[in-house]
Every structure is written in structure tokens, then in C-alpha cells.
Amino acid sequence: METQPTRVPIATATMQDYLKVLFRLEKTQKPVPTSALADALDVSPSAVTAMSCKLHVAGLVRYAAYHGMALTPVGRDEALRVLRAHRLVEVMMVEWMGYGWEDVEDEADRLEHVLSPDFVNRLEAQLGYPRACPHGDPIPGPNGEFPQVLDHPLSRLKPGQAGEVYRVTSHQRDLLVYLRDLGITPGTRVAVMAAAPFDGPLTVRVNDAEQVVSLTVAQNVFVLGE
């Protein structure tokens, strides 16, 4: 019996981790400096430089010394493919397996690298085609479609303004538990009642209760609205 050739992965798991972070950082700076990637991945600049060369040779990024790197179209497609698997796994863990949104990140990080596109497409259908992960991050489509949403951090709202929580950018476990306990989760409406001077905390109304959140926390909560 003639066997089918094995598909050669376009990138290793480590390469995919770099591509995911690069995709996120490109939203605010392009090309992305080596130092920014090193900070985001918690690795040395020399490690980023070595990986940048590998990604460049693989055609996944454009890299020039002292200028940083940017995703190629192929690299962007690979980053979105991995993000799609990651976020659908998170939805599965919360909806089917009883995980809290604070406990899905590490397991999804492991599974995103090994799931086939066919499995991911079937998972999406079984989940009812969710549009976002439990943290509110949009789920890329099967062909790389990615919605562009004009959201902004809660910290930008002034007293008297309100918005609906769209996503939480930090997935740090302690922060997610804290926000869950405050009721600040995607889909919740939050109104700013007061803002202390000199970068002080915000007083916000959530579910008919007033809460005080630090500016750091408010910078990680993105809202739609005013």
C-alpha cells in the first residue's frame, strides 16, 4: 500500500511561540525591536537574535540587524493558525471541562502546537463557532480572517463615561481571579465613577456595585464604547 507523505511542519513549537508574540507586538510597533521580543518572551536578546535568523531563513519573518523583525504573509498565517487553535482550546476547556478562565493558558499553550487544522475546524463547529476566547480575544477564522476592533483600555475613560468589557489583555492567573471576583469579565458594562489624581485608582460601577481598581489593572481591561 502506498503511504501518503508526512506533512512537514512549517515551524517548530518555539518558532510558533515567537510568531504569536510578534503578531501581538506588531499592533503597536513594526518592525518589532529585538529587545521588545526578549522582554515579552522572557529570554535573552541573543536568543531572540538567533531565532530571528532561523525565522528569516524559513521565510516567516523579515529581519535586519538593528532594525528588528516583521511577519511575512506566511508568518502571519502561521501565527493566526496557532492562535486559532489556542483560543478554541480555551473555549473547550471552559465550556466543556469546567475550567476557570484563569486556568486555561498553560494547557492551551501545549495543545496549540499539536492539533491539526481539521481537528481545530471540527472543534470550532462542535463549540458552535464562538467568536472569542474566554478572555475576549477574537478567534481567527479558518482562512486567517481576523476582526479589527476599535477597543481601548478602561484607564482612558473619564468619570461619567462607560463601556462594555471586550477583552482582558493580561492572562496572569492572579489578575484573572481578581477580575472575576469583581465581576469584570467580557460582556460586562463598566462605568467610571471617579478617578484619583496622579495616576491613582479608578472607582467603577460593575453590576450595581462600586469597586476600586488600580490604574495598572484598568490598563489591562479593554472596553467598547465611550
Tell me the CATH number at 209. Answer: 2.30.30.90
- The answer to whether residue 17 is domain-embedded is yes
Is the CB of residue 184 less than 8 Å from the CB of residue 165?
A: yes
| Residue that is last in its domain, among 145, 161, 182 | 145
Share of the chain above pLDDT 70, in %: 96
Domain count of the chain? 3
- The answer to whether residue 111 is domain-embedded is yes
Same domain, 138 and 99: yes
- The answer to whether residue 165 is domain-embedded is yes
| CATH code for position 91 | 1.10.10.10
- The whole-number average pLDDT for the span 15-24 is 95
- The answer to whether residue 8 is domain-embedded is no
Q: Is the pLDDT of residue 6 over 80?
A: no
| Residue that is last in its domain, among 145, 164, 189 | 145
Same domain, 90 and 59: no
- The answer to whether residue 123 is domain-embedded is yes
pLDDT of residue 206: 96
Backbone angles phi, psi at 69, to 5 degrees: -140, 160
Same domain, 29 and 88: no
Same domain, 191 and 220: yes
pLDDT band at residue 25, thresholds of 50, 70 and 90?
Answer: very high
pLDDT of residue 4: 38
CA atoms within 13 A on the CB side of 70: 9
65: left (phi over 0), alpha (psi -120 to 50) or beta: beta
Q: Is the pLDDT of residue 48 over 80?
A: yes
Same domain, 123 and 188: no
Same domain, 205 and 174: yes
Q: Is the pLDDT of residue 10 over 80?
A: no
pLDDT band at residue 7, thresholds of 50, 70 and 90?
Answer: very low
Same domain, 96 and 138: yes
- The answer to whether residue 91 is domain-embedded is yes
- The answer to whether residue 2 is domain-embedded is no
Same domain, 102 and 123: yes
pLDDT of residue 226: 67
Q: Is the pLDDT of residue 66 over 70?
A: yes
Same domain, 92 and 67: no
| Residue that is last in its domain, among 104, 120, 145 | 145
Query: Which residue range(s) make up the domain with 214?
Result: 152-225
Is the whole-model pTM more than 0.85?
Answer: yes
pLDDT band at residue 9, thresholds of 50, 70 and 90?
Answer: low
Q: Is the pLDDT of residue 32 over 90?
A: yes
Give the chain's mean pLDDT: 92
Same domain, 183 and 220: yes
Same domain, 221 and 160: yes
Q: What is the 3-state secondary structure (H, E, C) of the chain?
A: CCCCCCCCCCCCHHHHHHHHHHHHHCCCCCCECHHHHHHHHCCCHHHHHHHHHHHHHCCCEEEECCCEEEECHHHHHHHHHHHHHHHHHHHHHHHHHCCCHHHCHHHHHHHCCCCCHHHHHHHHHHCCCCCECCCCCECCCCCCCCCCCCCEEHHHCCCCCEEEEEEECCCCHHHHHHHHHHCCCCCCEEEEEEECCCCCCEEEEECCEEEEECHHHHHCEEEEEC
List the grid coordinates of 194: 471617579
Backbone angles phi, psi at 165, to 5 degrees: -65, 125
pLDDT of residue 8: 41
Question: Packing angle between helix 34-41 and helix 45-57, nearest 10 degrees?
Answer: 110
- The answer to whether residue 4 is domain-embedded is no
The 10 Å Cβ neighbour count of residue 38 is 16
- The whole-number average pLDDT for the span 6-28 is 84
Nearest Cα to Cα of residue 164 among 188, 138, 137: 188
